Structure 1
Amino acid sequence: MLKSVSFPDHVTRKYENDVVDFVIGGDISLRAAGGKRFKELLQSLTNGYSPLLTRTILRRIVELYLIVRPLLAALFSSLTVAISLTLDGWSNRNLKGFYVVTAHWIDTVMAKSKSLLLTIIDVASGRGVGVRVTKAFFEHLKGMGLNVLPKLLMS
């Protein structure tokens, strides 16, 4: 096993950003990013860098989303086409429910369909879950700004 190595702050930040980008890009799941084999791979590729904990990666992803959210709202507001949303319910191994919301639209410049994970709504399961999902979803959309809502409601 490799010895612990100290890196300059800018190198460590680059590695951390690369790991977060790798998870966001869908190249590896968050769960796998915390696995022993992935950590050993990174340590061998970087001569000793130890990757972030999965909780830290998740926190960084949420922080990035909060930065990107207003940019998404501006993008959606500027589109000349309507945005279609899909909602899909899932549960984790502990049967905790969550709903994934995906936005879909047509890029008229590139003539391609585009899709983007918009948000994950975490709601308590049980009686009345549909109402709780609807309220949480609407609050999320309202938070994106009034210019986005008409694009979504027209689809």
Structure 2
Amino acid sequence: MMLKSMSFPDHVVHKYENIVVDFVIGGDISLRAAGGTRFKELLQSLTNGYLPPSTLMILRCIVELYLIMGSLLAVFFSSLNVAISLMLDGWSNYNLKGFYVVTVHWIDTVTAKSKNLLLTIINVASGRGVGVRVAKALFEHLKGMGLNVLPKLLNVVSDNGSDVTAAMKHMFQLINAAVGYE
């Protein structure tokens, strides 16, 4: 339990902590705002004294959830009997730090509905050779989910940027070498 001094029952504290983390993950506010005085005062007044976790604790919870979910996703994608597709695009933050957001898409064989979710965010240094760095990072992420996930990759959709084109050519070379076919 993050808040040892609270007089609320554990399930109430966890409920509010989960609400804060879900709110931040949902993108409704930035992580910085969740640690701000005004946000804390709002929660304290709405909950009769609840003090939300610090932004550092929220970040730790998000990373912990990501690590847990990464393992579960690996098992899930290994068990899928359909091909998967990836979609990625490169961005930079306010400090011009580069990152690629990768989503995975597949068809649910029971409902015949399209499914998708955020697979990973790859932090990359910008500059010459960024495509190869993206390819290696994404390949390692997929390989970490199990070698049987690699052959399920049907295609990758992105803009026509030269970095992404180079990345995907290199990544499929890595995949082909890993699974033993072209």
| TM-score (structure 2 length as normaliser) | 0.72
Query: What is the distance in 2 between the residues matched to 1:7 and 1:27?
Result: 30
Task: Tell me whether 1:38 sits opposite 2:39 in the alignment.
Answer: yes
The AA in structure 1 aligned to 2:46 is L
Per the TM alignment, residue 47 of structure 1 is displaced from its structure 2 partner at its CA by 1.1
Alignment of 1:90-101 (within 5 A): 90-101=91-102
Task: Tell me whether 1:114 sits opposite 2:119 in the alignment.
Answer: no
Unaligned runs of 5+ in 2: 156-182
Per the TM alignment, residue 27 of structure 1 is displaced from its structure 2 partner at its CA by 5.7
Per the TM alignment, residue 34 of structure 1 is displaced from its structure 2 partner at its CA by 3.4
Does the CA-based 8 Å contact 2:90-2:100 persist in structure 1? Answer: yes
The AA in structure 2 aligned to 1:30 is S
Q: Cα 1:9–1:99, aligned 2, differ >3 Å: closer, same or farther? A: farther
Instruction: Summarize deviations over 1:88-108 as a string: whole Å, max 9, x none.
Output: 111111111111110011112
Instruction: Summarize deviations over 1:13-71 as a string: whole Å, max 9, x none.
Output: 332223213333x1623334334443333222211222223332222111111111121
Query: What is the distance in 1 between the residues matched to 2:89 and 2:150?
Result: 20
Does the CA-based 8 Å contact 1:103-1:118 persist in structure 2? Answer: yes
Task: Tell me whether 1:105 sits opposite 2:69 in the alignment.
Answer: no
Unaligned runs of 5+ in 1: none
Greater CA radius of gyration, 1 or 2? 2
State the partner residue of 1:17: 18
More divergent stretch after superposition (33-42 vs 43-52):
33-42
SS at structure 1 position matched to 2:119? strand
Does the CA-based 8 Å contact 1:30-1:54 persist in structure 2? Answer: no
Per the TM alignment, residue 136 of structure 1 is displaced from its structure 2 partner at its CA by 0.9
Does the CA-based 8 Å contact 2:78-2:145 persist in structure 1? Answer: no
Does the CA-based 8 Å contact 2:78-2:146 persist in structure 1? Answer: no
SS at structure 1 position matched to 2:111? coil
Per the TM alignment, residue 74 of structure 1 is displaced from its structure 2 partner at its CA by 1.7
Task: Tell me whether 1:135 sits opposite 2:136 in the alignment.
Answer: yes
Query: What is the distance in 1 between the residues matched to 2:39 and 2:114?
Result: 33
Aligned length: 149
